[in-house]
Structure 1
Amino acid sequence: MVNLKQIAAELSLSVTTVSRALKDGPEVHPLTTARVKEVAKRVGYVPNHHGRALKTGRTLTLTAVLPMETRDYLSDLAKLPLVEGMTLAARRAGYSLSIYSTTPDDDPVESVQRLLQAHSADGLIITRLVSGDPRVKLLLDELIPFVAFGKTDLDTAYPYVDIDNEQIAYEATRWLMDKGCRRIALQLLVPEDQASTMRLAGYGRAMAEAGIPIDQSLIGHGMFTMESSAAWFDRLLGSPNPPTGLACANELGLLGALHVLGKRGLAPGSDVHIVTRDSTRLARFLPAKIGVHSVDMAGIGRTLVEVLERRIANPLGPVETILFNGEFDPGE
């Protein structure tokens, strides 16, 4: 690997000058900085983050803990814009982003503990929060800069960025009611996730306002891959009192539901009304009349990194909490 000494020798400069130029030090003439950067790029110079960490205690690395879904080929589709947003924001802030992938069988707390023991990051991004999430307390106790993608029901203040899942589910249910639906099915993800709790709360609020009792048989929990969504919705449509409306958890749940409607010769937007949350903008390319709540996952990724960067710079600063709304398109 090319090091600073080699670049300095080629340009007849001191190692100190080269180092300061690469950091855009104001004491280095702009023309010299440009020459140094040009040579560094040409020879493929990469900063030694490990050595810097030993000297400064900082790694200039941020780590996002992302549970990977292994139940469907496309289950992790929605994570791609999130990762893109985090990556670009980290790079602009002078950090590298590492993704720490976990499987559904991994213990979330043990995964975070392993990261803390490795001292491999200046800050963490945790995702998929559950009720009373113990990772939040662990990171607060250890004084580790972090930000959560999601909320949990703890009394302690902590930084988070989240999606207003309650309002999205409320608006989706009200829209289906405006279409004349009274038998409204609701897809939820795993019950432990706080996002599912908030979706159920929004659905329940809309139903209560309309004076419609909740039928528990219309509420489904699962990962909602295309296959599981299709099987679940097919059972509901085959029941004596089938739903006339459906609020999908995500794009894969939507695709499974549309597959079943096609198989049964039913049309979305006339026989059954559907609204979905869409994190990839996939739904807008489907030739179906459906309501769509689009969520800017790349923007969420950028915001997570920006909040974490500010937390690293000022650990005792204000605790930021940011809520993203869904952008609704009735598809009409």
Structure 2
Amino acid sequence: MDRPRKRAQALKAAGRQPTLKTIADLAGLGVTTVSRALKDGPELAIETKARVRAIADKIGYRPHRAGVRLKTGRTFVISLVLNQADDMSDYARRLIMGISEALRGTQYHLQVLPQNIDQDPIDPVRYIVETAAADGLILTHSEPQDLRVKMLLERDFPFITFGRTELATPHPFIDTDNFDFTYRATQALIARGRKRIVIVLPPKQFTYSGHQLGGYRRALFEAGLTPRVAQGVDLYSPAFTLRSYANALATGSDAPDGIICGSEIQALGMILGFQEAGFVIGMDVDIVNKKTSD
């Protein structure tokens, strides 16, 4: 058995946790050097940092976060405020996995803070800022005049949004091009001869709902067709609700021949609804959706 593993077992038997000094003794380095290596200090050789991290992993070293916070004023935590709507279409799982992978090999770890359905969206953000519970925030479901973003800008708190706002003050964001998605989806349906195209949009309060509507309308305008926006349902409606909605559309007097739905799960619900009404997908109706799961 190698030396680090023996030391780890001895500490465990004694009811003690490994410390920076434990790593320093095993590596033959000073405590300060070990500390800098674990912080990815640029002044140290890559080989030294890798050796220190390997020893730390073997002995199960974990920094005492309360102590780190007292000493540095940093938590090494990134918080993701998880909107309840993020259950939709495997979105939350993929988001968490992507962020976790990006943080892998760094000192930071991810904290997921759920936002309850009946909770004011600004409450979890205010809690993190006022308690300094994290060093940075990731927000989803941005709105045109997002109060969360306004507060974070006023407090000068590090954050990024998945989605855009329409605020005058620039802020960090990443986003997909929802205008382009619906524009191209509508064009594809028109190219297949579809003329009665219905779109299921995200809830109106979210910025990307307007972007999707804009791309859809632009393509229809260029083709001289009339917009048909789904009423009474949206992209966050349960799949079984959209199943019933599609069934009602199919049995109506002016059934659509094309559907745009930006979620796989919700699109599957609509496919079932059309099939139950006797429609053949790809013949009687085409459905375009955005890939939202693995």
Q: TM-score range by the shorter chain?
A: 0.7 to 0.9
Shift in Å, 1:31: 7.3
SS at match of 2:90: coil
Give the distance between the partners of 2:56 and 2:233, measured in 1 at CA: 56
Match of 2:204 in 1: 191
Change (3 A) 1:33 1:197: closer
Match of 1:55 in 2: 71
Contact 2:89 2:265 (8 Å CA) reproduced: no
> Matches of residues 243-322 of structure 1 in structure 2 within 5 Å?
243-281=256-294
Match of 2:121 among 76, 94, 108: 108
Change (3 A) 1:31 1:182: closer
Give the distance between the partners of 2:232 and 2:197, measured in 1 at CA: 9
Letter aligned with residue 87 of structure 1:
S
Give the distance between the partners of 1:31 and 1:246, measured in 2 at CA: 56
Shift in Å, 1:75: 2.5
Letter aligned with residue 276 of structure 1:
N
> Matches of residues 66-145 of structure 1 in structure 2 within 5 Å?
66-69=82-85, 75=88, 77-145=90-158
Give a deviation string over 1:22-66, Cα, whole Å, max 9, x none: 345577687765654443222200122321221111222211112
Q: Which moved more, 1:211-220 or 1:130-139?
A: 211-220
Contact 2:94 2:293 (8 Å CA) reproduced: yes
SS at match of 1:167: helix
Shift in Å, 1:9: 4.8
1:233 aligns to 2:249 (yes or no): no
Letter aligned with residue 60 of structure 1:
F
Give a deviation string over 1:89-136, Cα, whole Å, max 9, x none: 122444212111112221111121011122121111111012211111
Contact 1:230 1:257 (8 Å CA) reproduced: yes
Contact 1:218 1:243 (8 Å CA) reproduced: no
Give the distance between the partners of 1:166 and 1:31, measured in 2 at CA: 47
Q: TM-score scaled by structure 2?
A: 0.85
Change (3 A) 1:35 1:211: closer
Change (3 A) 1:216 1:120: closer
Change (3 A) 1:36 1:243: closer
Change (3 A) 1:120 1:212: same
Shift in Å, 1:268: 1.2
Contact 2:83 2:115 (8 Å CA) reproduced: yes
Give the distance between the partners of 1:8 and 1:211, measured in 2 at CA: 73
Give the distance between the partners of 2:106 and 2:55, measured in 1 at CA: 23
Contact 1:124 1:146 (8 Å CA) reproduced: yes
Higher relative contact order (CA 8 A, sep 6+): 1
Q: TM-score scaled by structure 1?
A: 0.76
Letter aligned with residue 75 of structure 2:
T
Shift in Å, 1:19: 2.2
Q: Which moved more, 1:259-268 or 1:131-140?
A: 259-268
Match of 2:9 in 1: none
Give the distance between the partners of 1:42 and 1:217, measured in 2 at CA: 56
Change (3 A) 1:24 1:278: closer
Contact 2:78 2:111 (8 Å CA) reproduced: yes
Change (3 A) 1:28 1:277: closer
Contact 2:78 2:108 (8 Å CA) reproduced: yes
Match of 1:178 in 2: 191
Shift in Å, 1:231: 1.4
Give the distance between the partners of 1:194 and 1:34, measured in 2 at CA: 44
Identical-residue share of aligned pairs (%): 35
Stretches of structure 2 that go unaligned for 5 or more consecutive residues are: 1-16
RMSD over aligned CA atoms reads 2.4
1:149 aligns to 2:162 (yes or no): yes
Shift in Å, 1:238: 1.5
Mark the structure with the bigger radius of gyration: 2
Contact 2:233 2:242 (8 Å CA) reproduced: no
Number of residue pairs aligned between Structure 1 and Structure 2: 278
Change (3 A) 1:35 1:213: closer
Q: Which moved more, 1:37-46 or 1:212-221?
A: 212-221
Give the distance between the partners of 1:115 and 1:251, measured in 2 at CA: 33
